C-alpha cells in the first residue's frame, strides 16, 4: 500500500496531478482537520499525512517512479 500511495496522483483540487508524496504538508494537515475523503484515496492521504508530519519523505523518495526520485533528490 505504501509504494502505491506515494506514486498515486492527486485526482482533484489545487494539487491535481501531483504525486501524493509531493503534496504540501499544510494541505494534508487541512484534510486531517476537515476529514479525509472516503475510500482508498482517503486512506492514502491519511498515510501521506503521517509520513509528512513525521519527516519521512526523504526516506520514501527511492520508492517513487525513477524520474521523480531523481528530481526530488536534486531539489533537496
Tell me how long the chain is: 76
The number of domains in the chain is: 1
CB 6 within 8 A of CB 64: yes
- The DSSP code sequence of 11-69 is -SSTTTTSBGGGS-HHHHHHHHHH-PPSHHHHHHHHHHHHHHHTT-HHHHGGGS-HHHH
Question: What pTM was estimated for this model as a whole?
Answer: 0.81
Q: What is the pLDDT of residues 15-51, one digit of tens each?
A: 999 999 999 999 999 999 999 999 999 999 999 999 9
Instruction: Give the pLDDT confidence score for residue 64 in this predicted structure.
Output: 85
Confidence of residue 1 (pLDDT cuts 50, 70, 90): confident
Whole domain around residue 29: which residue ranges? 2-74
Whether pLDDT at 73 is above 70: no
Amino acid at each position: 500500500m505504501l509504494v502505491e500511495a506515494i506514486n498515486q496522483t492527486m485526482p482533484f483540487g489545487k494539487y491535481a496531478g501531483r504525486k501524493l508524496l509531493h503534496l504540501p504538508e499544510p494541505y494534508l494537515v487541512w484534510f486531517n482537520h476537515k476529514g479525509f475523503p472516503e475510500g482508498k484515496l482517503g486512506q492514502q492521504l491519511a498515510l501521506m499525512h503521517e509520513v509528512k508530519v513525521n519527516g519521512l519523505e526523504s526516506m520514501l523518495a527511492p520508492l517513487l517512479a525513477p524520474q521523480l526520485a531523481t528530481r526530488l533528490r536534486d531539489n533537496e
